[in-house]
Structures are given as C-alpha cells and as structure tokens.
Structure 1
C-alpha cells in the first residue's frame, strides 16, 4: 500500500484533516452550529463546479465559496437570531442548486463525482502543502485560544463579559472552519464531511467527563476513523468518505454499548453492596 505515491499522499492529507476537523467540530457541536458545517460542505460543491468549468483548482473554488457562505450565514444569524436555522438551510439550498446546474457543464462527470464521496487517488502535493498551512493555523488557534474557544462554545455572552474578544475570535474561527471544510472535500467528500465534524465529538461525549477529555478523545477518534477508513478504501476499492463514516458509526455504537454495560455493572455492584 505505502509503495504507491498516491496512497502516501492520501494518508498524510488524511492525518492532517483528521486532527483539524474534530478540533473545528468540538466548537461547532458545543455552539449547536454543526449544521453550518453541513451547509458549507454542500455549498463547496458550487466552487468545485466553478473550478472544473473555468479550469482552476476546484479546491480554490470551494474555499472561496465556503468562506463567502460561512460569513453570509453568520451575518444572517446575527441580524435575525430567530431565523438562524433557516439561514443555514437557505445558503445550503442555494449552494446545492448552483452546484447541480454547474455539474451539467463540468468536464468529466467522474471528476465532479469524486468530490461528492471523496477520492484517495486525486490528492496532489499542493493539496498537502495547502492543508499543512491551514493545519498549523488551526492548531495554533486551538492551543493559544483554548480557554477562549471553550468560553464562546459554552456561552458567548459570558465569554464577552469575561474579556474574550468574541467578534474577532468568531471571525478567525469561521474563516478557518470554512477553509478546513473546503480542503476536506477532496478526500472525504462533500456529502460526508459533516459526519467527521459531528460523530467523533458525539462519541467522545458518551464517555468524556470534561471538555479537556472530550478534546483529546475526539481528536484520537478522528485519527482512527480517518486512517482506518482510508486503508479500507484502498483494500476494498470503496469510497473513502463512506468507509470513514461507517467506522465512526461503528465506533459510536461500541462506545455507547460500553457505557451501558459499565453503568449496568455499577448498578449491580451497588445492589449487591446494599
């Protein structure tokens, strides 16, 4: 497997994304904005279509569209807080509608389809370089602003009162989240990115007892799901996005079963001691 250059590139890119996406996902899930990630990943397809038609890197197109869509959603959510969910749905529908039209004009149907469910054979050296740059920025933000991100994830108003520069931090986070999702489309697929945003966090919340534990468990699970998914994709010639998502679902079920058995065991011990 590792003797093939495309597989080495896919594993490197996958490893970087498997850390970046859960870091973004932790904040999104705690802020109850994980559906924004879903909207951005679907909207990214419009940028992919633009890139394929106009002859530039589709990931550049998806990044531009994702950033625009992300800030439009945030703008509408702040102007009309009561319609936050509707704003997300409107932007996603607009992006999907444009993508559907552009897909008819995009050269090579297989090329466009690879961005729907991911592809391990299309990763380039430039993709790794671009993702590495964003990886450093995401990691730097998560480490240097760990407590501030925790504060805005729990309660933005309390964070503002405690001195956190919520607006500037929101701006940086939204920008990096949009770029991260756009970069993920090639390997994971636009239809599957949200699963890696949500499922590792959901799984870690089953067993974690603190935000710090959730943080590290989520990243660990993200790496496991991604690496195993890419290996299975190569071994069985299946879409990487689907393999990654199935791993995540199986992992969540195993953790949930473990938690249930542990709770049952503790209850039995309590009854025996009584």
Structure 2
C-alpha cells in the first residue's frame, strides 16, 4: 500500500519538511553562541504552559461556564513560551545570575509545576503525548501556523544574518559596527520560542531541542565555512525530520523518538566520515 495515500502521513511529512530546516537554522544560532541548553529549557517550560492552560480552561468553564476550542491550549502554550523567553532575557539583563543558572531555574521549575498540575488533571497518555509528541496528530491548522512561523524565521534570519554573525563572534564588535544587539537578542529569543511552541507535536517537550541542536552539531563536523554550515544544517534538518517520519512508519515506532534517533545516527555517520577523511 502506498504510504502517501494516507492523509495523516502527508500532513506529517509536510510538518517535518517545515519544522526540520527551520529548527536546524535556529540551531546554528544557538549552538554557535553556546546556548544549546536554552532551547531545551524553553521546550520543557511548555509542560508548565500546558498545565496552566488546562487549569485556566477548567476554572473558566466551572465559574463562568465558558467553552473553549481545541485551539485555545495551542495558542496559550505559544504565548506562554514567548513570555518565558522574554522573562529569561529580562532577568538576564537585570540580575547578576549567570545564563546557565537562569536556564536551570526555568528547566526545573517548569517541569515541577507542569507535572504537578498535569498528573492531577489529565490521564498519563495525554502527558506522554506532550512529552514525546505525536506528529501524526497534526492538523492542517497546525501546519498552516508552522508554515507561517517558518517563513517568518527564514526571512528574519537571512535578513539579519550579518548582524547575528557579528554577535556570534563578539558582542562588543557587533556594537561597534552599529548592530542593535539587545533588540536583536530579544527578536531572536522570541523567534526561537515561537518555533519551539509550534514544533512540540513533532517531538514533544523532551526531544524538540534535538531538532534544533543535532543538525547544527552534525553540520559543524563537516562544514568548512559559515555558508557551508548553514547549507549543511538545512540539509541535515530536512533529511533527519523527513527520514525519521518515513522510518517510524516502516518500523511501527513512535515518530518523535524515531526522528531524534535518526538524527543521532546521521551525526555518528558524519563523525565517522570526518575521521576517515582526516586519516587520509
């Protein structure tokens, strides 16, 4: 039977085609600035966002008898993720705490609050879906929103790539060249938050950072300059996401972990290829 005859598979494949390259391109920015843990912490913060969204929905329906569509939780998590991103930058600028300390606080606090709320309100299968994702459940609305964010991400990153490159090299150098570093940092963090919030259905909170970090790390093994790093990251992001979706169908496995495992296999293969050429 032709796998492309299934509507859910076509949606899954399109979602992977959109999210894979977008996350990989953002991964170049985060890994080059030593902020790989940021995407992981932000992804885990959505566990608390999901819990608070359900709690708000329950309170509104109980006291005001208000009804909400399925889009409410997705929208709430999206804006919650953006809010957490801005809170991180605010405390980073206003306190003397180190970035890794703030990220650890976000990570542990969000997971603790989220699990505490969710275990009291939902069944474990729903919690499992949030943690590991379910790309096969993506609707055309989800894909449309992901497509819009992907277009915005590509436009923003390529338009601001010279400034981002200077910031990655040295922030003081970027300031001396007239780059508005603080504004660019806020815009980049908001963009990462939006992409993570909309990519949760692919890998879930536990593995979504794999789509951001692994392709960029794999590309760094073989890249010879920054332009090749961008190109290889896009290629690895696309191949890893699409290949994971197809492989999960044939081996009858969960799609999220399969994508993460397939991208790790690509990384190990690239590492072997690099060592082979180095020896020669």
TM-score, normalization by structure 1: 0.91
Select 1:28's aligned residue among 18, 27, 30: 30
Select 1:63's aligned residue among 47, 69, 78: 78
2:14/2:143 contact within 8 Å kept: yes
What does 1:209-228 correspond to in 2, within 5 Å?
209-228=224-243
Aligned-pair distance for 1:239? 1.7
Matched, 1:43 2:45: yes
Aligned-pair distance for 1:7? 1.2
Which stretches in structure 1 are left out of the alignment for 5+ residues? 266-274
Aligned-pair distance for 1:82? 5.1
* Cα distance in 1 for residues equivalent to 2:79 and 2:112: 17
Aligned-pair distance for 1:32? 0.8
1:15/1:227 contact within 8 Å kept: yes
SS at structure 2 position matched to 1:121: helix
* Cα distance in 2 for residues equivalent to 1:237 and 1:105: 31
Select 1:104's aligned residue among 110, 119, 123: 119
* Cα distance in 1 for residues equivalent to 2:50 and 2:16: 19
1:10 paired residue number: 12
Q: CA 1:131–1:156 in 2, change beyond 3 Å: closer, same or farther?
A: same
1:272 paired residue number: none
**Between Structure 1 and Structure 2, how many residues are aligned?**
265
* Cα distance in 1 for residues equivalent to 2:49 and 2:230: 31
Once the two structures are superposed, residues 126-169 of structure 1 have per-residue CA deviations (whole angstroms, 9 ceiling, x without a partner) of 10111111111101011211211111122222111111111222
Aligned-pair distance for 1:81? 5.2
* Cα distance in 1 for residues equivalent to 2:269 and 2:95: 40
1:269 paired residue number: none
2:251 paired residue number: 236
1:73/1:87 contact within 8 Å kept: yes
1:207 paired residue number: 222
Once the two structures are superposed, residues 180-203 of structure 1 have per-residue CA deviations (whole angstroms, 9 ceiling, x without a partner) of 011111111110011111111111
Whose RCO is larger (CA < 8 A, sep 6+)?
A: 2
* Cα distance in 2 for residues equivalent to 1:65 and 1:39: 13
* Cα distance in 1 for residues equivalent to 2:35 and 2:278: 30
Task: Name the stretch that deviates more: 74-83 or 201-210.
Answer: 74-83
SS at structure 2 position matched to 1:164: coil
2:173 paired residue number: 158
What does 1:94-173 correspond to in 2, within 5 Å?
94-173=109-188
Aligned-pair distance for 1:41? 0.4
* Cα distance in 1 for residues equivalent to 2:53 and 2:10: 25
Matched, 1:195 2:210: yes
Q: CA 1:105–1:125 in 2, change beyond 3 Å: closer, same or farther?
A: farther
SS at structure 2 position matched to 1:105: helix
Q: CA RMSD in A?
A: 1.6
Q: CA 1:81–1:22 in 2, change beyond 3 Å: closer, same or farther?
A: farther
* Cα distance in 2 for residues equivalent to 1:131 and 1:159: 31
